[in-house]
A and B are shown apart, each in its own frame.
Chain A
C-alpha cells in the first residue's frame, strides 16, 4: 500500500491493475485525456485496444467477457462518446455480461451547466446498469473501482458505469487500494435453502417425463460439469436457450436442441408434454416461451436461478432453487436417484425425423442453385471441427447460425440475445478473439448488421485480430423481410438493400477476402479462409428469399410450429 501522492488518473490505472485488468477497449477524447496520459506509462501491463466507435468498444468488451469469463473494461470520453456507449451497456445489462465502463466527465465545477460534451450519464445509464456512480474527487476512485468490479462480476453479472470528472482525474491524493469483497446492502448470491434442494430432488425423482431448460446461468456459474452429472444421473433430456448454447456439447445424447421461436421442434413440443420442467439459469424470455398462457401449464416447475427477482417473474415455480448453479446442481444431483427415461427420450425422435426431413435436409442440401444460409454455416462449423467460437450479428444470420453450428466446448456462442443489437457481431468477434487468441473465431453477419459497425474493420487493421468474418449477403434485411412475407403480404417496405463491394472494403482495410456465389466455390473459399490465423472476409451470396424455419409466430403457443413449405 503506497502512500505517495498520485493523480486520480494514475490511481485509476493502478486500481485497474490491482483488479487484474490486462485488456481495455476504448477511444480517447477531451474529458478523459488525463487518464489516457496515465495509461501511456502502463502499456506493458494493460493492453488498450483502440476501436473506431464507442459502441464498438462496448461490444468488444462484451465479446471478450463472454469468451473468457473476465470482466470487460471500456474507457471512453464524455458527451457523445457516453451516449454512443449506451447500446452496448444496455446489451450487457439484459444479457448479464460483466463490464466496467469508465466514462470521462467535465470538471465538477462545470456540472449542470450544459458544458461542452457534458451529459448526465449517471441518470441516463441508471436503468441499464447494476450501478452507476459519478466520481468528483480523486480520493473516491480506488473505492469506486473496487466496488465497480465487485458489483459487475458478483452474483448475476452486469455492467457498471463510473463517470469520472476531469478535475478528479487531475487532482492528487494519497493512494491506497483495498479490494471490495462485501457490500452490506448487496447480496449477490442468495443463501441456499436445504428445503429447496430436497424438494427439487424429490420432485425430479418422482418425474416420469422430466425436461430441463438450460440457460446462460450454467455458463456464468462455470457449472457445465455439474450440469452434465445432474442430467446423466437422472437421465433428463434438455433443451437450450440461445444464450445457453454450448453449455452442453451439441452431440450429447441428452441434448435435444434449441428452444424458442426458431428452435427445434422437439424441445418446444415436449415443453408442453413434460411433467416436471427444470429451468436452470434461464429467465423464460418471451422468445423462448411465446404465449405464457399456453406454456408448460401441465408441468410442475423447478427454477434454478441466482437472481430471486427472476423467480415467478414470468412462470410460476413450484420449487425455487436459489443460488449459484455450480453449487445447487451439485447438491440436488447428490440426492437424485439414478433413473432411466428411455421411452420419454425416444419420443423426441419422431420430431427430430420430421424436422430433419422437412426443414434441415432442404436447408443443408438445397435443390436450387442458390446457396442457403444453413449450408454455409454447417460447412464452416465442420471445417473447424466444431471447435470454433461462433459470434453472430442479429437476424436470420443469427438464428441460422445457432441452429446449424455445432459446439463441442463451452463459451463458444457469442450473440446479442436480449437486446438483439444489429452491429454487435463485428466488434464482439474482435473482443472474443482478443480474449481467446488460441481459438478460431467465426463471425456470421448479414449484409445489414455488418454495415452498422463496419468501421471496426479499422480495429482489425490496427490490431491484426484474426477474426474469420462471413457475410451472408441476400441484399435484404432478412429477418424483417421474412416477417413481411409471412405477415405483411410480401410488402417489402424498406428492406431491400443496395450493398457495396464488401471485398473491396475489406481490401481497403488490408483484410484478405473473397466473394462466393456458386456452391462449388464454397469448400475452397472456406479452406482458404481457415488456412491461417489472419483476418479474412468471406462474402457468400445466399438465397434472396431465405426463410428461417421452424418458426413460432409471436403470441402463439409453442406447440404451434410453422415448418414452411420447402
Chain B
C-alpha cells in the first residue's frame, strides 16, 4: 500500500467530478486529497487526486476512469515520479507571536511567510510536502493555532513529453 497521485483530464462538462469520485467509492477507496481546476489546455479540466492503495488496484481504477466518455486521459504516479506541492495556511493570535520569539524562529526555520497580520491574528502560509506542512503545524500547535487549513496536492510530471498534448494531437489528426 502506498500513496498514488492520479491525474485525470476531462472535458469541461458538469457531472464529471462525481463520475470520477464514484469509481473510487465503488471500490471503497478513500480519497486523501482532491484538487480540481482548469488545465493549461482550453476546455480541458484537470483533477489531481491522492489515494492510498496498492499498484494492482490503482491500475484498475485508472482504466475504469478513462472508460468514462468525457474523460480524456487518466494517469497515475508514485511520489518519486512527480514534483508536487501543497499549500497550508495557519491562523495564529498576534500576541502569541509578539510574546514568543520561538514562533518567529519557527517561521524562519520552515521558510513560511506572513500572508496577513492585524492586531488580532496573523496568517502564515507554507508551501511544501504534506510532511512539511504537518510538522510546522505540530510545532506551532504548542503555542496555539486558531485555524489550520491545507489545500489538495498539485503535481507536475517529471517527464519531458507532455502525454496529454500528444494524445490530443493524435485525436485531432484522426478527426480529419
Q: Which of A123, A127, A186 contacts B69 (CB 8 A)?
A: A186
User: Does A313 contact B60, Cβ atoms closer than 8 Å?
Assistant: yes
Q: Residue A344 at the B interface, CB < 8 A? A: no
- Please indicate the chain A residues that have their CB under 8 angstroms from the CB of B172 in the complex: 184
Could you list some 28 contacts between A and B, CB below 8 A?
A123-B15, A123-B18, A126-B15, A126-B18, A127-B26, A130-B69, A151-B69, A182-B174, A183-B69, A184-B72, A184-B168, A184-B171, A184-B175, A185-B11, A185-B69, A185-B72, A186-B69, A186-B70, A307-B67, A308-B63, A308-B66, A309-B60, A309-B64, A309-B67, A311-B63, A312-B59, A312-B60, A313-B60
Give A496-536 as 1s and 0s: 1 = Cβ < 8 Å from B's Cβ atoms: 00000000000000000000000000000000000000000
Q: Residue A221 at the B interface, CB < 8 A? A: no
- In angstroms, how far is the closest chain A Cβ from the Cβ of B140? 42
Q: Residue A131 at the B interface, CB < 8 A? A: yes
Give B172's nearest chain A residue, CB to CB.
A184
- Please indicate the chain B residues that have their CB under 8 angstroms from the CB of A364 in the complex: none
A130 to B172, CA, bound (A): 23
Q: Residue A94 at the B interface, CB < 8 A? A: no
Binding site for B on A (CB under 8 A): 122-123, 126-127, 130-131, 151, 182-186, 307-309, 311-313
User: A123-B18, A127-B26, A184-B171 in contact; A309/B69 too (CB < 8 A)?
Assistant: no
User: A122-B15, A127-B22, A185-B71 in contact; A309/B66 too (CB < 8 A)?
Assistant: yes
Q: Residue B19 at the A interface, CB < 8 A? A: yes
Q: Which of A151, A182, A311 contacts B175 (CB 8 A)?
A: A182
- Please indicate the chain B residues that have their CB under 8 angstroms from the CB of A183 in the complex: 69
Q: Residue B133 at the A interface, CB < 8 A? A: no
Give B63's nearest chain A residue, CB to CB.
A309
Interface of B is mostly: helix
- Please indicate the chain A residues that have their CB under 8 angstroms from the CB of B50 in the complex: none
A379 to B77, CA, bound (A): 59
Give B19's nearest chain A residue, CB to CB.
A126
Q: Residue B10 at the A interface, CB < 8 A? A: yes
A126 to B174, CA, bound (A): 28
- In angstroms, how far is the closest chain B Cβ from the Cβ of A331? 20
Interface of A is mostly: loop
- In angstroms, how far is the closest chain B Cβ from the Cβ of A238? 27
Give B61's nearest chain A residue, CB to CB.
A309
- Please indicate the chain B residues that have their CB under 8 angstroms from the CB of A122 in the complex: 15
- Please indicate the chain B residues that have their CB under 8 angstroms from the CB of A127 in the complex: 22, 26
A130 to B68, CA, bound (A): 7
- Please indicate the chain B residues that have their CB under 8 angstroms from the CB of A313 in the complex: 60, 63
A149 to B175, CA, bound (A): 18
- For the complex, count residues of B whose C-beta is within 8 A of A: 22
- In angstroms, how far is the closest chain B Cβ from the Cβ of A529? 44
Binding site for A on B (CB under 8 A): 10-11, 15, 18-19, 22, 26, 59-60, 63-64, 66-67, 69-72, 168, 171-172, 174-175
Looking at B19, B69, B175, which has the most chain A CB atoms within 10 Å of its CB?
B69
Give A310's nearest chain B residue, CB to CB.
B63
- Given A122-B15, A183-B69, A312-B60, 6 further pairs, Cβ under 8 A: A130-B69, A185-B10, A185-B69, A185-B71, A309-B63, A309-B66
- In angstroms, how far is the closest chain A Cβ from the Cβ of B60? 6
Give A129's nearest chain B residue, CB to CB.
B69
A101 to B72, CA, bound (A): 25
Looking at A122, A183, A184, A312, which has the most chain B CB atoms within 10 Å of its CB?
A184
- In angstroms, how far is the closest chain A Cβ from the Cβ of B166? 13
- Please indicate the chain A residues that have their CB under 8 angstroms from the CB of B19 in the complex: 126
Give B72's nearest chain A residue, CB to CB.
A185
User: Does A131 contact B69, Cβ atoms closer than 8 Å?
Assistant: yes
Looking at A126, A186, A312, which has the most chain B CB atoms within 10 Å of its CB?
A186
- Please indicate the chain A residues that have their CB under 8 angstroms from the CB of B60 in the complex: 309, 312-313
Give A127's nearest chain B residue, CB to CB.
B22
A312 to B64, CA, bound (A): 12
A52 to B18, CA, bound (A): 34
- Please indicate the chain A residues that have their CB under 8 angstroms from the CB of B171 in the complex: 184
A130 to B70, CA, bound (A): 10
A232 to B72, CA, bound (A): 40
User: Does B64 contact A126, Cβ atoms closer than 8 Å?
Assistant: no
Give A147's nearest chain B residue, CB to CB.
B69
- Please indicate the chain B residues that have their CB under 8 angstroms from the CB of A186 in the complex: 69-70
- In angstroms, how far is the closest chain B Cβ from the Cβ of A417? 20
A151 to B69, CA, bound (A): 8
Give A156's nearest chain B residue, CB to CB.
B67
Give A186's nearest chain B residue, CB to CB.
B69
- Please indicate the chain B residues that have their CB under 8 angstroms from the CB of A182 in the complex: 174-175
- In angstroms, how far is the closest chain B Cβ from the Cβ of A514? 47
A127 to B18, CA, bound (A): 10
A151 to B68, CA, bound (A): 11
User: A312-B60, A313-B60 in contact; A185/B18 too (CB < 8 A)?
Assistant: no
A130 to B130, CA, bound (A): 37
A131 to B19, CA, bound (A): 10
A100 to B63, CA, bound (A): 24
A151 to B70, CA, bound (A): 11
- Please indicate the chain B residues that have their CB under 8 angstroms from the CB of A131 in the complex: 69-70
- Please indicate the chain A residues that have their CB under 8 angstroms from the CB of B11 in the complex: 184-185
A73 to B64, CA, bound (A): 26
User: A123-B18, A126-B18, A126-B19 in contact; A185/B59 too (CB < 8 A)?
Assistant: no
Give B23's nearest chain A residue, CB to CB.
A127
User: A312-B59, A312-B60 in contact; A185/B70 too (CB < 8 A)?
Assistant: yes
- In angstroms, how far is the closest chain A Cβ from the Cβ of B21? 11
A341 to B5, CA, bound (A): 48
- In angstroms, how far is the closest chain A Cβ from the Cβ of B27? 11
- In angstroms, how far is the closest chain B Cβ from the Cβ of A307? 7
A313 to B10, CA, bound (A): 23
A309 to B62, CA, bound (A): 9
- Please indicate the chain A residues that have their CB under 8 angstroms from the CB of B64 in the complex: 309
- Please indicate the chain A residues that have their CB under 8 angstroms from the CB of B66 in the complex: 308-309
A311 to B64, CA, bound (A): 11
- Please indicate the chain A residues that have their CB under 8 angstroms from the CB of B168 in the complex: 184
A313 to B67, CA, bound (A): 14
Looking at A182, A183, A185, A312, which has the most chain B CB atoms within 10 Å of its CB?
A185
- Please indicate the chain A residues that have their CB under 8 angstroms from the CB of B69 in the complex: 130-131, 151, 183, 185-186
A181 to B67, CA, bound (A): 18
A186 to B171, CA, bound (A): 10
